[in-house]
A = this chain, B = another copy of it.
Amino acid sequence: MSGLAAALEVVGARWALRIVEQLLDGPQRYGDLQRDLGVPTNMLATRLRELETAGVLRRLPLKHNTRAYALTERGLALRGAIDALARWGSAHVGEPAAGAADPQR
């Protein structure tokens, strides 16, 4: 399996990279993640469980029965890829596509 295919097995599902991006700045509580991302709660719970199983993030038990999540070393190592995708999105999405110069012509 190629590196990209392996990566997408873990973080290719909808919302996964968005969740990791939110946690790059530090641990966050479940409720804050859900509010900031606007992700349906059942989807968030599923993705957090999958990312925890894959060793990308881990759960931090807090008082008053609340939970927070933090990236592991493996999760933090996604920063470069996430920043690169975000730069591409900012630079290239929203522009008109027509007439884009094409070096492969």
Contacts and interface: CB of A to CB of B under 8 A. Distances in A.
Interface residues of A, number: 52
A73 B87 contact: no
A5 B11 CA distance: 14
Interface in A79-94: 80-82, 84-94
Contact of A70 (B82, B93, B104): B104
Interface in A5-24: 5-12, 14, 17-18, 21
A71 B102 CA distance: 8
A4 B2 CA distance: 23
Contact of A9 (B10, B78, B80, B93): B93
A34 B11 CA distance: 23
